[in-house]
Structure 1
Amino acid sequence: MYDLTGFQRDLLYVIAGQEEPHGLAIKAELEDYYEKEIHHGRLYPNLDTLVEKGLVEKGQRDQRTNFYTLTRRGRREIEARREWEGRYVDTE
């Protein structure tokens, strides 16, 4: 996870928090969080990078709609990141 951008990590968290979200659902969640528009030219290349790294799987719902899910490795990476963060951030 150390080689991911913050945006890519945020993509992982959004995908983890939804059941097989499609690109526009992911985009909407991130736009709510960032409070600005996320362009397709930023979103989809970063999703493709996560697929290439084996952190996310891309499936096809129909000819126009893809969905995304975390791989086991993606879940392990999130868990490891949260454990690492927990050493530095007091949640109480």
Structure 2
Amino acid sequence: MDDLTGFQRDLLYVIAGANRPSGQDVKEEIEEYYESEINHGRLYPNLDTLVNKELVEKGELDRRTNYYAISDAGEQAMQDRQEWEDQYVEL
């Protein structure tokens, strides 16, 4: 995950915390967190990056709507990141 932007990491966490969210579902969650509108030109290229890095899987809900799901590699990357963070921050 060291090669991801903070925004991409946030997308990964949103996807991991949901059950096969659509792009619109991800957009709504991330807009709530960022407290601002996220346009499609920012959202979908970053989702595609996560898919291309095989951290997220993309599938079809219907002919117009895709879903996103965390992959095994994505889960492992998140776990590795958490372990790395834990050595610096104790909450």
Q: Into which bin does the TM-score normalised by the smaller protein fall?
A: over 0.9
* Percentage of pairs with the same residue: 62
- Identify unmatched segments of 5+ residues in structure 1: none
Distance 1:16 1:54 in 2: 14
TM-score w.r.t. the length of structure 1 is: 0.97
Q: Which residue of 1 aligns with 2:31?
A: 31
Q: Deviations over 1:55-74 (max 9, x none)?
A: 00000011100000011000
- Identify unmatched segments of 5+ residues in structure 2: none
Distance 1:31 1:46 in 2: 14
For 1:54, give the aligned amino acid.
E
**Is it true that 1:52 corresponds to 2:59 in the alignment?**
no
Q: Which runs of 4+ in 1 moved over 2 A?
A: none
Q: Which residue of 1 aligns with 2:70?
A: 70
Distance 2:37 2:28 in 1: 9
Deviation at 1:90, TM superposition (A): 1.3
Q: Which residue of 2 aligns with 1:82?
A: 82
Q: Which residue of 2 aligns with 1:21?
A: 21
Q: Deviations over 1:2-58 (max 9, x none)?
A: 000000000000000000000011000000100000000000000001000010000
Distance 1:69 1:31 in 2: 19
